[in-house]
Amino acid sequence: MLSQLLYPNLSFLPRFLVDLFTGFLIVYALRLALIAFNRSRLLRNATTGPIVYLSNLPGPKSPSWLWGSEWEMYNTSPGQKYMEWYHTFGRIFKFKGALGSSFVTLADPSAIHHILSPQHCYEFPKPEGERQFFYTLLGKGMIWAEGLTHSRQRKILGPAFSSGALASLSTIFFDSSYKVVRAWNTLFEQSSSDSLTIDVQRWANHISLDTIGLAGFSYDFGTLDPNRPQHPLARTLDGFTDSSGTHSFSAFLVHSLIWAFPAILRIPSNRQKALSKSRNMLAEITNKVWAERKALSNPQGSGKSILELLLKAEKPGSASNLTKEQIAAEMMTLIFAGYETTATIIAWALYELATHPEIQEELRRQVTDISLSDPSFEDLHNGLPLLSAVVNETLRFHPTFMQIHREASKDSLLPLTPLPQEFTQTGITPTTGTHLFVPKGTILILPINIMQSSEDVWGPDAHIWNPYRWMDIGATGKEANESKQTQWRKDLLIFSTGARGCIGHNFAKLEIKTVLATLLRNFAFAPADNNEIEPLLSFVVRPKVKGEHRSSLPLKITRLNY
């Protein structure tokens, strides 16, 4: 026996410890043999084309044995290093993170389609560190969930985001928009100036928070009412996402170590306090709303609102049978996700329209001429092509997230897109049938900013905000649709896709369109004097004034008189 061979060298240990150690070695060796056998079978049977291994991938040299490339990524503009590496190393590259952690970046459409497809998406879950972050902040809601748990939660909430449900919510979107119009008109009446400089990011935050509260849970946060004090949740969320509360060395430690050491989220810090404060505030509100609505003997509503669906799922006889804690987690998830991203896109869209006055004027004519009253749901849904193009282009050009993280739950082969003969780059050059072998545990990064600004897909003007490119998509005879990979163009990665795609993306688009249409019918927007705007990476990529340490977007606003 192996233990007999080892025992003379380990005679100073009790015999049972030697046997235990021997058993461990045997199990470990068998596990390695099984992994090797499965990998050999996967590589032998899955494909007959070339196979690329991680050791073949190019990438930047790690500048630090401790932090890898994390520190330089943290201290550059959001997404800048990914774009630099893409131009240097091609569509697929690897880099080192903190404590020797390794990442593979995939800007390859075939590989991304495979990872996000309904057939394979649950084979590539969020990495444990990212799931731990969302659990700490929001509980076990849809963002945290994986596999059958996620599928079940999505099925419960799906009807709340159907076209019929959204049509019934459009009045709430308009109500929130007109609250801003009335508040700004009051500011003009109190001023003798023809134009005012207003922080539109702040107002976009309030629009988004009030809208998700009313549309989802019949709860009025009241942040658009100038006569009411700011809601505590609004202060908490703003403090959590502004750089003044997050851009510090402690925040960098969490950001960089979370992949290799998820338990860092349990270490007391200012960041941890901000997470706990946000979760406690959200939990307090959601529990209050849940209890109030549940207490109603005959609650009014269509039966398809988010809250009503959750209350129905809470009933003991329901097939869904959610617990009170799970309901609170879903409510917190939808409030947090719906507030942050929508508010940021509204702000960026107004910024781009302010810096492109000719497009702003054309869009104003479109949303004004279509009807003497507000645009209908059908108009907003698909009847205003330039408005849709402005929203899509803002989502493309200003993605609120820079990347999607996934982890291979098992050894996998990812198909790679063959490069056209006329397209040359450094790094690997896949041909037909080429696959990338990804071992179990590999952390994959799907770079949104690269996918949504690649010149070989979007053309030489990819670095320019140009909504008219979206009005070409689907047209025949357009050069832009010839020899271009239009799948990238039609499917914005910012909402992901497939079974793990954002369930509220149509909700967000409709809200953004409603806000833009309403504000443009009443005000004109221009850049504020001496204010250079740059991106700020907090929870999402918000606008900020260069040199400042918090998110804001001051624009010069003029009231229109018809």
Domain that holds residue 493: 2-559
Helical packing angle, 505-520 and 200-217, nearest 10°: 130
Query: Which among 171, 164, 168, 166 is positioned nearest to 373, based on CA atoms?
Result: 171
Highest mean pLDDT among 7-21, 110-124, 361-375: 110-124
Per-residue confidence band for 562, with pLDDT thresholds at 50, 70 and 90: low
pLDDT in tens, 257-309: 898 888 887 777 666 676 677 777 777 777 777 777 667 655 544 455 677 77
Name the domain count of the chain.
1
Residue 486 confidence class, pLDDT cut points 50, 70, 90: very low
Residue 482 scores a pLDDT above 50: no
Residue 477 has pLDDT above 50, yes or no: no
Q: Which of 235-244, 286-295, 320-329, 370-379 has the lowest mean pLDDT?
A: 235-244
**Distant-in-sequence contacts of 23-30, Cβ < 8 A, 24+ apart:** 26/2
pLDDT score at 174: 94
- Say what the pLDDT of residue 339 is: 86
- Does 275 or 401 have the greater pLDDT score? 401
**What is the pLDDT at residue 328?**
79
What was the pLDDT predicted at 159? 85
CA distance 126 to 129: 8
pLDDT at 424: 55
Chain centroid to Cα 10, Å, comes to 54
Q: Which of 121-125, 310-314, 490-494 has the highest mean pLDDT?
A: 121-125
- pLDDT classification of 509: cutoffs 50, 70, 90: very high
- 502 annotated ligand-binding residue: yes
Which of 345, 457, 337, 355 has the alpha carbon at shortest distance from 397?
Answer: 345
Q: Over the stretch 75-107, which tens digit does the pLDDT of each residue have? A: 888 899 999 999 999 999 999 999 989 999 999
Work out the average pLDDT over 122-142: 91
**CATH number for position 76:** 1.10.630.10
Do 215 and 172 form a contact (C-beta atoms < 8 A)?
Answer: yes
For residue 473, report the phi and psi dihedrals to the nearest 5 degrees. -65, 130
If you count them, how many residues does the chain have? 562
Give mean pLDDT, residues 164-191.
92
The SS3 call for residue 491 is coil
Judged against a pLDDT cut of 50, whether residue 116 lies above it is answered with yes
Order of strands across the sheet that contains 102-106: 92-96, 102-106, 443-447, 403-407
Q: Which of 46, 338, 72, 346 is nearest to 216 (CA)?
A: 338
pLDDT digits (tens, 9 = 90+) for 40-72: 656 666 556 889 999 999 999 999 999 999 999
Supply the pTM of this predicted model.
0.87
